[in-house]
Amino acid sequence: MRVGEAIGLDRGDLDSEQGLLTIRHGKFGKSRQLPLHASTVEALLGYLALVRGQCSRTPQGSSMLVSTTGTRLIGNNASAVFSRLVDDARLDWAGRRRPRLHDLRHRFAVATVLGWYRAGVDVEPRLPLLSTWLGHVGPASTYWYLSAVPELLALAVQRVDNATGGRP
């Protein structure tokens, strides 16, 4: 999800029975549903219980992700907290750009495609699915997430070598 989409979630957007999260009013006003792993549903339900029990105030409105005062999160504040968490975790990003909250979205895209390659799946027909999960118009919008990722390039080269017997 984009940061704004996550912040825009309401408690009613989680269908814990079906394991679906509905993103309303995404980019270009589009909505979509994301399938969730059972552990993610469990974590979200735990978070919602925690908010009900420990929030200094009852959550105001229907927001899923709330501040300690019960109000909907603000994007800049979420990014600032993430930055502090990066510092607290003492993550090493030497030689690279400092991690940002949005990088989790990029990592999801790359990890998904890596998983497909490693499982021997034909990736190209699955790219529209990944594009839908990311809320992109189509695979062309998703390709830039995947470009210049050394892990993906190595797997692509290996597939070409396997298909051609290593011949140029």
Task: Respond yes or no: is residue 27 known to be catalytic.
Answer: yes
Task: Respond yes or no: is residue 52 known to be catalytic.
Answer: no
Task: Respond yes or no: is residue 25 known to be catalytic.
Answer: no
Q: Name the residue among 67, 75, 73 with its Cα closest to residue 51.
A: 67
132 vs 137: CA distance, rounded Å: 7
**CA distance between the termini of the chain:** 40
Task: Respond yes or no: is residue 136 known to be catalytic.
Answer: yes
Q: How many CB atoms lie within 10 A of CB 8?
A: 20
Q: Name the residue among 67, 93, 62, 70 with its Cα closest to residue 81.
A: 67
Task: Respond yes or no: is residue 106 known to be catalytic.
Answer: no
Given 2, 11, 24, 100, which residue is catalytic? 2
Given 30, 84, 98, 102, which residue is catalytic? 102
At 56, the amino acid letter reads S
User: To 10 degrees, what angle do helices 127-134 and 103-118 make?
Assistant: 160
Given 11, 24, 27, 126, which residue is catalytic? 27
Q: Residue 41: what are its φ and ψ, rounded to 5°?
A: -60, -45
Task: Respond yes or no: is residue 117 known to be catalytic.
Answer: no
Sign of CA dihedral 71, 75, 76, 77: positive
38 vs 70: CA distance, rounded Å: 26
Active-site positions read 2, 27, 102, 105, 136, 145
